[in-house]
Amino acid sequence: MKPTFVRKYQFSQLEKSITVASYIVAQTDAAAMRTYRDGGSGWTALEALCHLRDFEAVFVARAQVTLDEDHPMLPRPNPDELAIEKRYNEEDPQAVLATWQAHRDQYLALLRSLGDDEALWERTGVHPIHGDLSINEQLVTAAWHDTNHLEQMTRTLTEKRR
């Protein structure tokens, strides 16, 4: 299978993640998003949504530094510290979605600007935990990251109804 063919699916998945999150937010009152915690003590749905927003900016920064520098160290802020520092659970879900969309648009524009230049897609940076990550692998990771936290949000909100 051609890499460009697979990337089209990854781009589509990234585009649809925001839509899925918007459905979750539209169908859930903000109090529920702030109250119910993953497994009783983990993140709330709103904290997971804020994490998606903030790590989208990290994904943009990772891709940009990978393109600008030879084999750079990739940023990886501590997600739990960000949640506390930025007081995620006090944020407005609609505002979080809007900012996430803006970061996502920026990320997709950057990736699409690479076209079919496989040399650019294979440029690597060093992730502090996972080691070398190419731009292509960063794209796959971003799509997985969305799915992981959208599942977390829906599961957390579903569990509260039991």
Between CA 158 and CA 55 the distance in angstroms is 24
Calpha distance 143→17 (Å, rounded): 8
In CATH, what is the architecture of 3-159? Up-down Bundle (1.20)
Q: Which two tokens stand for residue 138?
A: 């960063």
Other CB atoms within 10 A of residue 55 CB: 21
How many Å from the N-terminal Cα to the C-terminal Cα in the chain?
43
Measuring CA to CA, which residue among 162, 11, 1, 30 is closest to residue 94? 30
Q: Which band of pLDDT confidence, cut at 50, 70 and 90, is reported for residue 92?
A: very high
Q: Quick: pLDDT tens for 66-82.
A: 999 999 999 999 999 99
Task: Tell me the per-residue pLDDT of 9-43, one tens digit each, with 9 for 90 and over.
Answer: 999 999 999 999 999 999 999 999 999 999 888 99
Residue 95 pLDDT class (50, 70, 90 cuts):
very high
